[in-house]
Structure 1
Amino acid sequence: MRILVTNDDGIHAPGLALLERIAHQFSDDVWVIAPAEEQSGAGHSLTLSRPVRLRSHGLQRYSVTGTPTDCIMMAVGHVMQDCLPDLILSGINRGANLAEDLTYSGTVSAAMEGALAGIRSIALSQQYLHEAAADSVSFSAAEAWAARVIAPLLDQKFDHRTLVNINFPPVDADQVHGVRVVRQGFRDYGRLRLVKGTDPRGYDYFWFGLGEMIHTPMQDTDLEAVADRFVSVTPVQLDLTHYEVLDQLRALYS
Structure 2
Amino acid sequence: MARILITNDDGYQAPGIRALAPVIAELGHDVLVVAPLDDQSGVGSARAGMVDRPIRTVTEDEHGIAYCGVAGTPALAVTLATLGSFGPPPDLVLSGINRGANLGVPIFHSGTVAAALTAAAQGVSAIAVSIDSEVPEHWKTAATMAAEALNWIASEPAGTVLTLNVPDRPLDALAGVRHATLAPIKYSRLIGTTAPTGEPMVTLEPTRSDLPAASDMALLQAGYVTVSPLTGIGVLPDEDAANALAKRLSSYR
TM-score, normalization: structure 1? 0.81
Which residue is equivalent to 2:60? 57
* TM-superposed deviation, 1:83: 1.2
Distance in 1 (alpha carbons) for counterparts of 2:16 and 2:104: 21
CA contact (8 A) 2:213 2:219 kept: no
CA spacing shift, 1:20–1:163, aligned 2, 3 Å: same
Which residue is equivalent to 2:99? 94
Distance in 1 (alpha carbons) for counterparts of 2:29 and 2:168: 30
> Secondary structure of the residue that 2:10 maps to in structure 1?
coil
CA spacing shift, 1:153–1:85, aligned 2, 3 Å: same
CA spacing shift, 1:173–1:88, aligned 2, 3 Å: same
> Secondary structure of the residue that 1:24 maps to in structure 2?
helix
Which residue is equivalent to 2:17? 16
Distance in 2 (alpha carbons) for counterparts of 1:53 and 1:78: 16
Which residue is equivalent to 1:193? 190
* TM-superposed deviation, 1:176: 0.4
* TM-superposed deviation, 1:154: 2.4
Write out per-residue CA displacement over residues 77-98 of structure 1, whole angstroms, 9 at most, x where no aligned residue.
Answer: 3424x51111111100000011
CA contact (8 A) 1:193 1:210 kept: yes
CA contact (8 A) 2:17 2:96 kept: yes
Which residue is equivalent to 1:180? 178
Distance in 2 (alpha carbons) for counterparts of 1:114 and 1:147: 18
> Secondary structure of the residue that 1:191 maps to in structure 2?
strand
Aligned ranges 1:2-81 → 2 under 5 Å? 2-48=3-49, 51-58=54-61, 60-80=66-86
Runs of 4+ in 1 over 6 A off after TM superposition: none
CA contact (8 A) 1:145 1:173 kept: no
Q: Give the length in aligned residue pairs.
A: 232
Match of 1:164 among 159, 162, 165: 162
Write out per-residue CA displacement over residues 174-215 of structure 1, whole angstroms, 9 at most, x where no aligned residue.
Answer: 22011112222221x2324288xxxxxxxxxxx854235324
CA contact (8 A) 1:86 1:119 kept: yes
Distance in 1 (alpha carbons) for counterparts of 2:226 and 2:40: 23
Which residue is equivalent to 1:118? 123
Distance in 1 (alpha carbons) for counterparts of 2:95 and 2:246: 42
Q: Which amino acid in structure 1 is aligned with residue 32 of structure 2?
A: W
Q: Tell me the percent identity.
A: 31
Q: Which amino acid in structure 2 is aligned with residue 214 of structure 1?
A: R
Distance in 2 (alpha carbons) for counterparts of 1:23 and 1:193: 35
Q: Which amino acid in structure 1 is aligned with residue 137 of structure 2?
A: S
* TM-superposed deviation, 1:40: 0.7
* TM-superposed deviation, 1:243: 4.5
Write out per-residue CA displacement over residues 36-77 of structure 1, whole angstroms, 9 at most, x where no aligned residue.
Answer: 101111111111485421222246431101100110122123
CA contact (8 A) 2:104 2:217 kept: yes
Distance in 1 (alpha carbons) for counterparts of 2:19 and 2:191: 33
CA root-mean-square deviation: 2.4
Which residue is equivalent to 2:137? 138
CA spacing shift, 1:190–1:61, aligned 2, 3 Å: closer
Q: Which amino acid in structure 1 is aligned with residue 136 of structure 2?
A: V
* TM-superposed deviation, 1:148: 2.9
